[in-house]
């Protein structure tokens, strides 16, 4: 019973997080129409198993959208009580940053430096493909967080709710260590 | 007699240094927390008062969204034309801070930056209500001209100076001025332009993040706020919050006071625990010095002398803990201010320790010591001298 309640709470928080983010970034406002399914995997330092999030969006006549979100997670009671919530809160925090929002829905060129709000900089690299989606990879740095870099892959496809790749690396002594990763693992649209 | 008793009390404190020190620490921790929290709170309150005094108490703000109503506070369309004819309004201005960054380019450098549109009505009062809106070079943008004022970081990163060109959404703009650096990166990396020009770029006229109405001299600002609310409601504008600068100042002040009282209350628990420790130490002292009390009484000391001796001893312990607590509290609040300044790059407040705070803290710690020592002192004063002399 306790485990079921805990899982239910985690699921509710996950869904709320996803919805809040999708609303705050205008994802639903800009949704181009048709059907799409995106599946993301979240891994985080200290989290034994990944969190798998999926969002299915189907445009129904006119202004309406049908949205189905699911998630999968497997963890010990301790994991579920602490690390999973950290992972969710962090997802919300990372994807909602001003710098990442500024890059969303923009036309980006490869190998270019872009100045962003708050003094952040995004240095784009070459084009790539993640789960069949064409992306531009790059590294985002923020002067307020000097010991970290964010490896991003951005797509111009407005039917994908999160950046196809968002990897946070933190400098520990001399080496960068990945502390958080959100990655698109499956994408389909009709 | 008082000095004799004080000297005796001090000697007793010094006789058991470790126990006295441990007792002092209890009072010290509580007083440190109280002084640090109150001095930080006072500093913050002063900074807020200064900021509002700079803004002025003759302003009415119209903010999109309803406080506590679950409505979005994002920019929305507010037609300011019905406010402009109000007899009590000296000036009406509006600003729009775009939610989504726009493409900007200059000298081969590209970026996606925040645009802030400021109406001509707001320009004269913008420096007081927009943090860091002070020119370092050049002039402000002219009405409906393709001119911009750049935040200092934007100017540096794009390597542009006054008179140079930047393109925003592929449209050329001339750099009319550059703002002073403030340390606030959000503002330093923004681009400011005339609100009408921003509407041209976004194709979304009347969208605003804030409307500001300045009252004429001597006018009742609260009455003006009601007029503004009514004029907008009559025009069909709903889901807005109308507040005067005085109301905003009071709201912020009351929230701060609640936080201060709550935190000071929590810190007071530590002080009470310290006082209980002091009372315990004094009870122990009475027990240990029962024979000594008997000797003093048999030599002619009256109960009030014994009472005074233990009360002075407890008060001294409280006072010493208080003095050390004040010193630690002030150091802690100064350190917290320095850390905050480094962490947030712009902290416009410093901890403030008024003489009233220091004197009150000293008085409280001494009285608390005396209060904690009252019961043990009474017990000591009531001891029978014969029984006390036979106490093993």
**pLDDT for position A112:** 92
Quick check: B386 and B294 in contact, CB under 8 A? yes
Residue B151 touches chain A, beta carbons under 8 Å = no
Query: Going by DSSP bridges, is the β-strand pair B191-194/B147-150 parallel, antiparallel, or unpaired?
Result: antiparallel
Q: CA dihedral defined by B228, B95, B347, B38, rounded to 10 degrees?
A: 10
Higher pLDDT, residue A84 or B200: B200
Quick check: B332 and B29 in contact, CB under 8 A? no
Task: Compute the distance between CA of residue B245 and CA of residue B242 in angstroms, rounded to an integer.
Answer: 10
Task: Compute the distance between CA of residue B114 and CA of residue A115 in angstroms, rounded to an integer.
Answer: 11
In terms of Cα–Cα distance, which of B317, B333, B185 is closest to B263? B333
* Distance from the A2 Cα atom to the nearest Cα atom in chain B, whole angstroms: 32
pTM (two decimals): 0.69
Q: How far separated are the first and last CA of chain A, in Å rounded?
A: 40
* Distance from the B72 Cα atom to the nearest Cα atom in chain A, whole angstroms: 10
Distances (CA, A) of B294 to A131, B134, B204: 91, 77, 91
**pLDDT for position A7:** 47
Residue A143 touches chain B, beta carbons under 8 Å = yes
* Angle (nearest 5°) at CA B120 between B119 and B121: 90
Residue that the structure tokens 């020592």 belong to: B373
Here the tokens at position B5 are 């008793």
**Contact state of B111 with A106 under an 8 Å Cβ cutoff:** no
Weakest mean pLDDT among A94-98, B34-38, B227-231? A94-98
Question: B86-97, pLDDT tens digit by residue?
Answer: 888 888 989 998
Q: Assess whether pLDDT exceeds 80 at residue A159.
A: yes
Weakest mean pLDDT among A81-90, B196-205, B260-269? A81-90
Question: Mean pLDDT in chain A?
Answer: 82
Sign of CA dihedral B300, B305, B306, B312: negative
**pLDDT for position A8:** 46
Measured between beta carbons, the chain B residues lying within 8 angstroms of A109 are: 110
* Distance from the B89 Cα atom to the nearest Cα atom in chain A, whole angstroms: 35
In this prediction, residue B70 has a pLDDT band, given cuts at 50, 70 and 90, of very low
Residue A146 touches chain B, beta carbons under 8 Å = no
Q: Assess whether pLDDT exceeds 60 at residue A16.
A: no
Task: Compute the distance between CA of residue B115 and CA of residue B29 in angstroms, rounded to an integer.
Answer: 49
Q: How far separated are the first and last CA of chain B, in Å rounded?
A: 29
**pLDDT for position B72:** 47
Residue that the structure tokens 């009072």 belong to: B27
Task: Compute the distance between CA of residue B110 and CA of residue B101 in angstroms, rounded to an integer.
Answer: 12
**pLDDT for position B168:** 94
* Distance from the B98 Cα atom to the nearest Cα atom in chain A, whole angstroms: 11
**Contact state of B186 with A98 under an 8 Å Cβ cutoff:** yes
Weakest mean pLDDT among B181-185, B198-202, B388-392? B388-392
Task: Compute the distance between CA of residue B194 and CA of residue B314 in angstroms, rounded to an integer.
Answer: 68
* Distance from the A11 Cα atom to the nearest Cα atom in chain B, whole angstroms: 23
Question: How is chain B split into domains, by residue range?
Answer: 2-52+251-389, 72-238
Residue partners of B128: CB distance under 8 A and separation at least 6: B54, B55, B56
**Contact state of B185 with A143 under an 8 Å Cβ cutoff:** yes
**Contact state of A144 with B100 under an 8 Å Cβ cutoff:** no
Query: Going by DSSP bridges, is the β-strand pair A175-189/B171-179 parallel, antiparallel, or unpaired?
Result: unpaired
Q: What are phi and psi of A168, to 5 degrees?
A: -100, 120
Residue B107 touches chain A, beta carbons under 8 Å = no
Question: Mean pLDDT in chain B?
Answer: 86
Question: A128-140, pLDDT tens digit by residue?
Answer: 999 999 999 999 9
Residue A30 touches chain B, beta carbons under 8 Å = no
Residue A33 touches chain B, beta carbons under 8 Å = no
**Using CB atoms, which residue from A106, A119, A144 is nearest to B112?**
A106
DSSP state letters, B287-315: HHTHHHHHHHHHTT--HHHHHHHHHHHHH
Distances (CA, A) of B18 to B14, B15, B25, B291: 9, 9, 11, 22
Q: Assess whether pLDDT exceeds 90 at residue B164.
A: yes
Residue A117 touches chain B, beta carbons under 8 Å = yes
Question: B211-238, pLDDT tens digit by residue?
Answer: 999 888 888 889 999 999 898 888 888 8
In terms of Cα–Cα distance, which of B48, B38, B274, A190 is closest to B282? B274
- When pLDDT is averaged across residues A17-32 and rounded to a whole number, the result is 67
Weakest mean pLDDT among A45-54, B64-73, B92-101? B64-73
Other Cβ atoms less than 10 A from the Cβ of B276: the count is 12
Quick check: B315 and B366 in contact, CB under 8 A? yes
Cα A9 → chain centroid: 21
Burial class of residue A1 (count of CB atoms within 10 Å of its CB; 0-12, 13-18, 19+): exposed
Question: B335-369, pLDDT tens digit by residue?
Answer: 888 887 776 655 567 777 888 889 999 999 999 99
**Contact state of A103 with B112 under an 8 Å Cβ cutoff:** yes
Weakest mean pLDDT among A165-169, B26-30, B131-135, B301-305? B131-135
Q: Choose from A99, A111, A114, A138 for mutation: most chain B CBs within 10 A.
A: A114
ipTM of the complex: 0.77
HSE (CB half, 13 Å, CA atoms) of B266? 9
């Amino acid at each position: 019973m306790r485990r079921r309640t805990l899982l239910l709470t985690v699921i509710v928080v996950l869904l709320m997080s996803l919805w809040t983010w999708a609303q705050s970034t205008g994802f639903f406002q800009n949704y181009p129409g048709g059907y799409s399914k995106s599946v993301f995997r979240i891994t985080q330092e200290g989290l034994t198993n990944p969190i798998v999030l999926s969002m299915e969006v189907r445009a129904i006549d006119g202004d309406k959208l049908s949205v189905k979100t699911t998630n999968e997670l497997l963890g010990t009671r301790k994991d579920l009580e602490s690390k999973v919530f950290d992972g969710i809160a962090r997802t919300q925090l990372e994807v909602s940053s001003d710098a990442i929002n500024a890059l969303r829905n923009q036309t980006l060129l490869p190998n270019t430096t872009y100045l962003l709000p708050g003094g952040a900089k995004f240095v784009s690299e070459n084009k790539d493909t993640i789960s069949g989606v064409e992306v531009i990879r790059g590294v985002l740095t923020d002067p307020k967080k000097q010991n970290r870099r964010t490896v991003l892959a951005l797509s111009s496809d407005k039917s994908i709710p999160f950046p196809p790749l968002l990897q946070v690396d933190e400098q520990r002594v001399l080496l960068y260590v990945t502390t958080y990763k959100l990655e698109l693992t499956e994408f389909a649209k009709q | 007699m008082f000095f004799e008793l004080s000297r005796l009390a001090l000697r007793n404190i010094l006789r058991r240094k470790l126990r006295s020190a441990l007792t002092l620490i209890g009072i010290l921790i509580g007083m440190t927390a109280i002084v640090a929290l109150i001095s930080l709170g006072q500093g913050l309150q002063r900074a807020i008062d200064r900021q509002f005094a700079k803004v002025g108490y003759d302003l009415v703000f119209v903010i999109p969204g309803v406080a506590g109503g679950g409505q979005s506070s994002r920019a929305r369309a507010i037609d300011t034309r019905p406010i402009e004819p109000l007899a009590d309004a000296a000036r009406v201005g509006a600003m729009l801070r775009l939610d989504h960054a726009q493409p900007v380019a200059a000298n081969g450098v590209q970026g996606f930056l925040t645009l802030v549109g400021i109406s001509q009505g707001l320009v004269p009062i913008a420096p007081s209500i927009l943090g860091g809106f002070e020119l370092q070079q050049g002039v402000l943008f002219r009405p409906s001209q393709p001119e911009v004022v750049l935040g200092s970081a934007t100017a540096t990163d794009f390597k542009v100076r006054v008179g140079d060109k930047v393109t925003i959404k592929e449209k050329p703009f001339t750099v009319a001025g550059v703002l002073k650096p403030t340390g606030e990166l959000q503002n330093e990396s923004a681009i400011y332009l005339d609100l009408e020009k921003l509407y041209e770029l976004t194709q979304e006229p009347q969208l605003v993040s804030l409307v500001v109405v300045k009252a004429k001299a001597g006018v009742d600002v609260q009455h003006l706020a009601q007029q503004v609310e009514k004029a907008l409601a009559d025009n069909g504008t709903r889901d807005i919050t109308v507040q005067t600068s005085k109301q905003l100042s009071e709201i912020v002040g009351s929230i701060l006071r609640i936080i201060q009282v709550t935190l000071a209350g929590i810190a007071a628990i530590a002080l009470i625990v310290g006082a209980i420790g002091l009372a315990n130490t004094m009870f122990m002292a009475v027990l240990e010095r029962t024979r000594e009390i008997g000797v003093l009484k048999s030599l002619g000391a009256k109960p009030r002398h014994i009472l005074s001796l233990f009360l002075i001893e407890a008060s001294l312990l409280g006072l010493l803990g208080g003095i050390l607590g004040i010193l630690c509290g002030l150091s802690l609040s100064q350190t917290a201010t320095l850390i905050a300044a480094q962490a947030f790059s712009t902290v416009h407040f410093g901890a403030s320790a008024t003489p009233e705070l220091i004197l009150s803290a000293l008085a409280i710690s001494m009285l608390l010591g005396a209060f904690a020592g009252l019961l043990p002192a009474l017990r000591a004063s009531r001891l029978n001298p014969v029984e006390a002399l036979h106490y093993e």
